[in-house]
């Protein structure tokens, strides 16, 4: 009887967490969040690397976009008031700068995102179907980290995984920690499009030079060496990040006035579901 009661109690807690959303108070508090500071998670463990695949070749994931840019979500109740403000700030930025809309899940929504405190920082790539996970542990609830992980949710890979990356960066495979190699793989597609834009070292989706390092050495070096110590340092969307989001989701009303280079795409191994997260001391 005690065991059964414990199971019922645990289920009740989990169910209650799944019903939470950000409130108007959270969005009010968001205006006080300092987005210029980026506190990196202190994780150097392969456990913070999450990746899941579905079978298939690399093709455009047009079918895996979120219809009309609408992304239903549920939120764990485990987040503090301050953390909820950071999450609200990130979502507010998407609302203000793109036509992507993270909205409270309705009973009729089959596909949705569950934002929870699990182990590390990671997100399922694009629209998986049904419930999909975004993990934002305490060390991950940082504005730059959140917008990075949510860009994975809407269908964007890491910048250094572009099919044309070899013209811009060199991957130092011998320095990459065991188990992280796949996060440095180049994703190739015959139908790949970068929306006519060039590689962007400053994209919010770019790794820093020593992410996933087993020895502190560089794992990525820029072909233009001056950029090696600068790439992956962004604390905000670049204009290129916003341009590619808005082009991918046909957010025509948001394209005016943006400038810069598009640095990312919404392609990944088709049929291969990737789960992106933090690795080393940066988001993945």
Enter the tokens of residue 165: 């990356």
Instruction: Give the best-scoring range by mean pLDDT among 31-40, 86-95, 252-261, 266-275.
Output: 86-95
Q: Residues marked as binding for Zn(2+)? A: 148, 152, 158
Instruction: Report the pLDDT value the prediction gives residue 226, as an integer from 0 to 100.
Output: 95
Active-site residue set: 149
Q: Residues marked as binding? A: 148, 152, 158
**Average confidence (pLDDT) over 202-223:** 95
* 220 within 8 A of 173, measured Cβ to Cβ: no
Instruction: Report the pLDDT value the prediction gives residue 60, as an integer from 0 to 100.
Output: 41
- pLDDT tens figures, 153-176: 998 888 999 889 999 999 999 999
The model's pTM is: 0.80
Residue 269 to residue 128: CA distance in whole angstroms:
13
Q: Which residues contact 102 (CB under 8 A, 6 or more apart)?
A: 71, 72, 73, 91, 94, 95, 113, 150
Q: Which residues contact 34 (CB under 8 A, 6 or more apart)?
A: none
Residue 77 to residue 4: CA distance in whole angstroms:
24
Residue 56 to residue 53: CA distance in whole angstroms:
9
Instruction: Report the pLDDT value the prediction gives residue 130, as an integer from 0 to 100.
Output: 96
Enter the tokens of residue 5: 């009661």
In CATH, what is the architecture of 20-277? Answer: 3-Layer(aba) Sandwich (3.40)
């Amino acid at each position: 009887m005690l065991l059964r009661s414990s199971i019922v109690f645990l289920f009740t807690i989990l169910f209650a967490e799944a019903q939470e959303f950000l409130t108007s108070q959270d969005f009010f508090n968001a205006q006080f969040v300092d987005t210029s500071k980026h506190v990196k998670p202190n994780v150097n463990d392969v456990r913070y690397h999450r990746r899941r695949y579905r079978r298939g070749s690399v093709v455009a994931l047009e079918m895996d976009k979120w219809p009309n840019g609408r992304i239903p979500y549920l939120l764990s109740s485990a987040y503090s008031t301050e953390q909820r403000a950071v999450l609200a700030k990130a979502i507010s930025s998407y609302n203000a700068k793109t036509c992507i809309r993270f909205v409270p899940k309705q009973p009729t929504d089959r596909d949705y995102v569950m934002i929870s405190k699990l182990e590390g920082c990671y997100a399922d790539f694009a629209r998986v179907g049904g419930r999909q996970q975004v993990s934002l542990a305490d060390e991950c609830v940082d504005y730059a980290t959140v917008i990075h992980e949510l860009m994975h949710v809407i269908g964007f890979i890491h910048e250094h995984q572009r099919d044309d990356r070899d013209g811009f960066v060199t991957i130092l495979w011998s320095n990459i920690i065991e188990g992280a190699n796949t996060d440095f793989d180049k994703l190739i597609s015959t139908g790949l499009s970068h929306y006519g834009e060039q590689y962007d070292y400053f994209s919010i989706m770019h790794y820093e030079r020593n992410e996933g390092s087993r020895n502190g050495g560089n794992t990525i070096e820029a072909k233009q060496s001056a950029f090696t110590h600068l790439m992956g340092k962004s604390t905000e969307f670049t204009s290129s990040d916003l341009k590619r989001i808005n082009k991918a989701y046909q957010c025509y009303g948001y394209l005016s006035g943006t400038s810069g280079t598009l640095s990312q795409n919404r392609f990944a191994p088709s049929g291969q579901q990737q789960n992106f997260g933090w690795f080393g001391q940066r988001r993945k």
